[in-house]
Every structure is written in C-alpha cells, then in structure tokens.
Amino acid sequence: MPPLSVKQRATTADLRPARPLLGILALLLTVGLVTLAIRGPWLGSETASAASGGAEMRIEIIAGSGGFCNGNDCYAEAGGTFTLGIDVVEAPAAGYSVVQTDLFTGHYDPAASEDGAGPNTCSDGTNNGDHDSKDRYDADCTTVYLNYFPRANAGEEFMDDVFAAAFRVTSYVGRIPHAGMTGLVPPVPTTYFEGRLLELDMSCPATPVATFINLLPFGDPVAETSGALFVEPDLQTPVTPKVNSLTVNCVSPQAQPGDTDGDGCSDAKEAGANPALGGDRDWLNPWDFYDTNGDGVIDLLFDILGVINHAGTAPGPPYDVNYDRGPWLGANSWNDTTPPDGVIDLLNDIYGVIAQNGHDCS
C-alpha cells in the first residue's frame, strides 16, 4: 500500500509552542491506531452495514462550482473545473470518531495489456512491471479522465473542524482515499456531524466525455479496507454507509435552442450580456432562472405571487420545492442562485424572484 500523506489540521492546540513533540507523537500514534484497527479487529468483527437504511454518504458536484447534478447524472464543462462534495447524509446512531472515504474515478479494463505483457494481463493477478503489486492499480489497466487537484494538505479538504487529524493518499491510479479522526489521543471525542464532509477540486478533459466517479464502500474489491466507513467511538465497531456513484458528463455549451441545465433558458441565451433576455447566467446552473411554471417568462402572476403563496418550510404545504432557491452566492440573484434549501423565505426567495421580474427566455 502506498504511504499515507498525513496532514494534521492546524487547531489552536497545534499552535501552542510548548507541545510540538507531544503533537507529533500523538499523530504517529494515530496513524498506527488507524492501521491496526483496519487490518486487525475490524476484519474479524461483523460490520454494522447500512445497506438497507441508516448511515449514508453521498457524492455530488457542488452547484455553482462549475457543474451540477440531477440525481446521479452530472454535468461539467469540458476543459473546466468543478468541486466534488462528499456529504454525510446520515451519521451512525451511536456517533463516530473515525471516518474514511475512497473515490474511484478510473475505468478498469481487465482485458487490457499490462506493461506490454499482452492481452488480458490486467486480470492475471501478476505484477507485470508497474510499481504496484495489483493489476487493477496499474496505469496501463485503468484509464482516468478526470483530474484531481489536491489542496495544500488534507485538512483543507475536510469542511468541519471536528476532525482534528486528516489523512489522504494521492499515489493511487484513479483512487482518492481520505480519513479523518476527531482526536489524536484516546479517549477520542464523539461526533454526530452531518453535512459537507469533504470538498475535492477536479477538472474535466478538454474533449467531451462521459465518465464515472464511484464512492467505494468498505470491503469493495477495489477499496478493500480503505472504503467508505464510520467507526463508532469505541474504535472497534465499524459502520459501512450507503453510498452512490455519479456519471459525469464533460460537455460543451449547446447551440440554440439547447439547454444543458434544463432551467428553461438556452445555453446560448444564458451566455448573453442582457439579464432581461436570460443573459449573465451560468449554463451549468439549473437554479439561476427563477421561472416556476416553465413558460419561459418570470412575471408577477405566476412566479412572484407563486413564491409568496408557497412560503414555508419543507416538507408540508404550502411549501413546494419548485418555488424554492438557496442562498445567493454573490450580488445578483439571476446568475448565482443555489439549489433549494428547504425554506421559501423573504431574503433568498421572494426578493430573489422579484429581482428577476420581467426576465424572458421564451
């Protein structure tokens, strides 16, 4: 297994000059503890699987980062960048102290030739010359279309300070494993954190292509013991979450009347300069044209009054997700609106649709 790239989050405690040696020793002990737990008692225990309910992780392209997802079908610009989010949708009921994820972005071809050894040598179980002993990880056997741009350290990719130590591996072909711990010395804290766990910066190739991103679970034949997993605070009980996979379509803008993001405003019109005609928008943001009834025009009767009449909170009436938008990312509601946030309110929604009154993409 390639060496871990270990980065400790710079917490207040880390910055105390009187304790540098203790911090380093604690970090080394943590590495040993995680390795022992994965290869030792976890393998002999029964995984509390959430295959039919319970703990869950999910990956998605973050809307507004250069792409969007409609379910597990996602779009990003060919040659462009985007940010992939890994979310904890539901934490284990007992909480957790360790979390790990493993993304696979490659296309493995067992019938390919490994290092010139001939057809089907990517499935012969023999290292035919590459640095890794497993055919699946050989660069000749796995094609990777998406590029991953690691941030300065693993801690910068974890989005919540509850994780005191962060780890990642960057030397695999097409795989990006991460792990986080809530503490460096037992007893480690318990967290019930749910929400955005990781953000990873990616890019599409310049040529349009459809490719995949898979969040691999613990025990998967590719991930093995590095797959998506929670470990309860006893550091002995693993919980394997439900996970998902994405189809990432790296695409170029469509000619008129093509509408990649399906918001009722064509790619060509969204690229224009006049917001009143649908311009100054993102052709990869399905939420930046606030048309609630699909007639191509944002008006008082159907859209503004519609949003007002549906003000409320999910999931009960009068709330309706079609009238909901999330917070604005910047100054203009028409080009930086985020996905529904479960609340139809004055600031994001009523003011947002009023700001687009009269905009016409018909």
CATH fold of 5-105+145-251, please?
Immunoglobulin-like (2.60.40)
Q: Name residue 250's beta-bridge partners.
A: 76, 209
User: d(Cα 193, Cα 163) in Å, to the nearest integer?
Assistant: 10
pTM for the whole structure: 0.79
Per residue in 148-182, pLDDT (tens digit) is: 999 998 999 999 888 888 989 887 888 899 999 99
Q: Does residue 4 contact residue 169 with C-beta atoms inside 8 Å?
A: yes
Per residue in 6-37, pLDDT (tens digit) is: 333 333 222 222 222 222 223 333 333 333 22
Higher-confidence residue of 116 and 244: namely: 244
Secondary structure of 317-343 in HEC code, one letter for each residue: CCCCHHHCCCCECCCCCCCCECCCCCE
Annotated domain spans of the chain = 5-105+145-251, 267-355
pLDDT at 77 over 90: yes
pLDDT at 246 over 90: yes
pLDDT at 129 over 80: no
pLDDT at 328 over 90: no
Residue 53 class from Cβ within 10 Å (0-12 exposed, 13-18 middle, 19+ buried)? exposed
